[in-house]
Structure 1
Amino acid sequence: MLVLLSLLLLCSSAFLSPALAVKATFFDGFLPNGNFEERPKATDLNKTTIKGKYSLPKWEISGLVEYISGGPQPGGMFFAVAHGVHAVRLGNEASISQSIPVKPGFLYSLTFGASRTCAQDEVLRVSVPPLSGDLPLQTLYSSNGGDTYAWGFRATSKVAKVIFHNPGIQEDPACGPLLDAVAIKELYPPMPTKFNMVKNGDFEEGPHLFNDSINGILLPPKQQDLTSPLPGWIIESLKAVKYIDAKHFNVHSGRAAVELVAGRESAIAQILRTVPGKIYNVTFTVGDARNGCHGSMMVEAFAGKETLKVPYKSHGKGGFKVASFKFTAVAPRTRLTFYSSFYHTRIDDFGSLCGPILDQIMVLPIRY
């Protein structure tokens, strides 16, 4: 019933005034006009440039913002719009924003499609004041331009202002990131249990998954566990890791898993409460996502003073193996870390980064 109510509220928000729309409740789905399919009036467009601060329905804009249709563009460029037909492009110092109702103290994740359009060093700044994060878009994880990201924040008031901003200045003022869909999900912080000391060890709690997310959801680097879009986990690497779902990928158990797509630059970690001197057992599964990712894979796991290297020969057709090791805690807090030893690309697409998948991570004390 709660899910049905949230869907009704989402659908009806298009007919509410901005003041009333803020009172609606969102649980898991698009922001109002989050896929940008509700277009500006023809009188509010100068070719592709949007004229007027409130001319993009449900959004407030600042600076040079273009309303883009996917496909070939004037000048010979091609813009891939993975989620729907339309997108917005943020020019030099441009931004779009929207205020949404939230619950103070709760954790939320934004899911959005983003890609660079001109320069190699484009950056998309995502903000929900007072929190802000810069997503470097130099690395294309999918060659078809369908990269989708998630970014987490903890609400500090009843209304959150979501801002997407291009902080860069290019020679061509129209150059900048392309944003093609924005959704939000309220996340529930997982807790350790007597059956597993690892929080969210099966990765079932995570960001919103678009129905057409055939490339998975990229979790940006340097995300702390308090605001991570993957509750309980720290994304502590230089590059993103990927959140994948059972609808589009091979997932060993449940509906989701994590793919380590950038070798040693793609790592996740969690800090566990431990008792010094006590011995613990770690188990987890390693496999491939049945996405054409092939080759000799290796996942390395670290806890306490122990390291385990788990080889996995992938043919890109799905499969998994279970691994385990023991460690002795040397402190009241123990960092559990996983990363991929090697770099991989898909056998049918050398422009798409991929790697081994992790699932079902468990830690329990050994009782004698």
Structure 2
Amino acid sequence: MYKFSVLLVLLCATCNLALAITDGLLPNGNFEYGPKASEINGTLVKSSKAIPNWEISGYVEYIKSGSKQGDMLLVVPEGAYAVRLGNEASIKQRIKVIRGKFYSITFSAARTCAQEEKLNVSVSRGKSKPSDWEILPIQTMYSSNGWDSYSRGFLADDSQVDILIHNPGMEEDPACGPLIDSIALKLLYPPRRTGKNLLKNGNFEEGPYVLPNTSWGVLIPPHIQDAHSPLPGWKIESLKAVKYVDSAHFSVPEGKRGIELVAGKESAITQEVFTTPGRFYDLSFSVGDAKNYCEGSLVVEAFAGRQTLKVPYESKGAGGFKRANLRFRAVSKRTRVMFYSTYYTMTSDHSGALCGPVVDDCKLTSVRRKPGHS
């Protein structure tokens, strides 16, 4: 009887843990289940809980793919439905998580008729703590079809959190807001440094959830710090986003994930590592193109210590990469490693989509002997 009770407790604990781990869409995260006919007026949702699994506030519309707004055709990237958030409107869902674990949120958004659109993304951090807002500018579109996927990270310090997306817009037309679709969650496992690589997550394999039915990657917004980064180990220290790309839709030098620097010098990633002053180190990495029609002369600039290396890559937009190495001497106990693209580049398919070189397989190792010694 005692053994049976212990087994039952373990099974219950395992079930609770399994329910808390969600890698993929949130319940009704693609909004395919919509309001009843009595709870909607045209496209306007009338009840706060009319959309299954969600609580809404303000002017929220339930949009079917192919609908028109004036001369604008509203296209939904996944499935047949999405929601549109008008002025001060929001959608919210409470989810179960594992306390103390890191997560990333991924969602898709598209501008409609507003010019200065932004989104507030909030994750509540316990019943006694206020929401932690993060403002994501979505004025710049990076894909060719008008939709982009965005990510943000958070540390769960409660067993349940509220995920909320809010449009703070003040447009004259209350319906002039962004479309939202495909909201997903991923449990992150922050990697550690090893003797073979002093950089954490140097191959970028750990990162935000990539929506399988989209082909435009996931944007990691600017000014994201390491503690809450959806790209563990790295900071996005730039004015523009970087793009997280996967091998299912792009060419990636190593493994299944990489980073595309899509906005010139305004799109940078950095990481700070512990070093020994006076010791030499090698920073090696791959530079290539994502096989997304990003053609021409691409250049990645790498910084470490007081050294800089420019790595040119002549891209035909068909995939490929080259290796590069920067040897430097550490001048302090902490060394900042940075990568960014020298130039702004657009794809050659005349879509106007921003693109850039891909950085991957970054390794930082200590040089055991002095340069020139065998």
Fold shared, TM-score > 0.5 on shorter chain: yes
Per-residue deviation, 1:25:
2.3
Q: Which runs of 5+ in 1 are unaligned?
A: 1-20
- In 2: Cα distance, 1:170 partner to 1:146 partner: 21
C-alpha distance in structure 2 between counterparts of 1:83 and 1:132, whole Å = 26
1:23 and 1:89 map into 2 onto residues whose CA distance is: 32
Match of 1:286 in 2: 287
Quick one: which amino acid aligns to residue 334 of structure 1? Answer: T
Residue in 2 that maps onto 1:363: 364
Larger Rg computed on CA atoms: 2
State how 1:1-368 maps to structure 2 within 5 Å.
24-129=19-124, 130-368=131-369
Moved more, 33-42 or 341-350: 341-350
Distance 1:124 1:323, change over 3 A: same
Structure 2 unaligned segments of length 5 or more: list them: 1-15, 125-130, 370-374
Normalising by structure 2, what TM-score? 0.91
CA RMSD of aligned residues (A): 1.5
In structure 2, C-alpha distance between the alignment counterparts of 1:22 and 1:72, rounded to whole Å: 41
Tell me the alpha carbon deviations over residues 74-121 of structure 1, each in whole angstroms, 9 at most, x when there is no partner: 422212211221110011100010010111221100010012111110
- 1:121-159: CA deviation from partner (whole Å, max 9, x where unpaired): 011110003322111111011120121111111111110
Per-residue deviation, 1:26: 3.0
Identity %: 54
3-state DSSP class of the match of 1:251? coil
Q: Is the Cα–Cα contact under 8 Å of residues 20 and 98 in structure 2 kept in the other structure?
A: no
| In structure 2, C-alpha distance between the alignment counterparts of 1:307 and 1:140, rounded to whole Å | 31
The answer (yes or no) to whether the contact 1:123–1:136 under 8 Å persists in 2 is yes
Task: Give the aligned residue type for 1:115.
Answer: A
Task: Give the number of equivalent residue pairs.
Answer: 349
Distance across 1 between alignment mates of 2:213 and 2:238 = 27
Distance 1:153 1:313, change over 3 A: same
| SS at 1:264 equivalent | helix
Q: Judging changes above 3 Å, is the alpha-carbon distance between structure 1 residues 22 and 180 closer, same or farther for their aligned structure 2 residues?
A: farther
- After superposition, the Cα gap between the structure-2 partners of 1:127 and 1:290, relative to the gap in structure 1 and judged at 3 Å, is same
